[in-house]
Amino acid sequence: MSNRLRTGLEEKYNGESKVRKNLKDRMESKENIFIPYIMAGDGGLGILEERISFLEECGASAIEVGIPFSDPVADGPVIQDAGIRALKNDTTLSGVIETLQSFKDSRSIPIIMMTYLNPVYAYGLDRFISDCAAADVDGIIIPDMPMEEENILAESLSEHGIAFIRLAAMTSPLNRLTALAQRSEGFLYAVAVNGTTGVRTSHDERVKAYLSNLKEHSHVPVLAGFGVSNSGQAHALSNHCDGVIVGSKIVELLHEGKDEEVKAFIQESIKLEIPS
């Protein structure tokens, strides 16, 4: 990273990414971290600003914005259906970035973009990163980017002040989980199920041990994702990490117009449970 860029980022974030700083502030305020996932273009890009503003008002710590893709590998049926609806609305990666840029001055909540590698390659790596920076995208998640190949964009993301958020899987060996925990920026995305996104009824003791182990090795907050569908699960997992990321349930409720249920879900989940 050039000295000029490093100095600029340190002045802007005091040595921390905007994502990391925001989550740290939430933890210091004694709140669980809650990051909702939404599919950009589900309902049209015209509602993206309104939807992000609503989730910020509900108390979300950051917002994960998904890019629709025709061949997703990590998405369950609810998010796949949302992606299909978004693609039918002619949603593109460039359209999402342009929309985010159009209202960047009116939002303060960190925006995390989740996309697959194929759309990024088609867009152009350098152009993608510079355009995301111009749109004030604060973090990037690319679930099909292996750690061994991430050098093609990791340094450039860092130079533009964009947190490169890594995913950790329960099936990975300890040395790989440790490496991912040490590399991740902003937060570490702990996949809490073996499978795709979607509602689960519970998470077993192996998940709790896995989250606790990641906490021991991570220098950034550890957030559990996949399978969280109610505030009880959010609290149960947050006892072993720093909070949760919720996708399928949020996407489903928003699609059904159940905004009040979304608000209740978020606000109940961010409250720390008081031991009896």
Give me the active site residues, please: 64, 75
Return the residue matching tokens 């669980």.
32
Q: What is d(CA 52, CA 58) in angstroms, rounded to the nearest whole number?
A: 10
Neighbouring CB atoms inside 10 A of 203's CB total 20
List, edge to edge, every strand of the sheet that includes 163-164.
163-164, 139-141, 111-114, 63-66, 33-39, 243-246, 222-225, 188-191, 167-168
- Contact present, 166 and 180 (Cβ < 8 Å): yes
Phi (first) and psi of residue 139, to 5 degrees? -155, 155
What length does the chain have?
A: 276
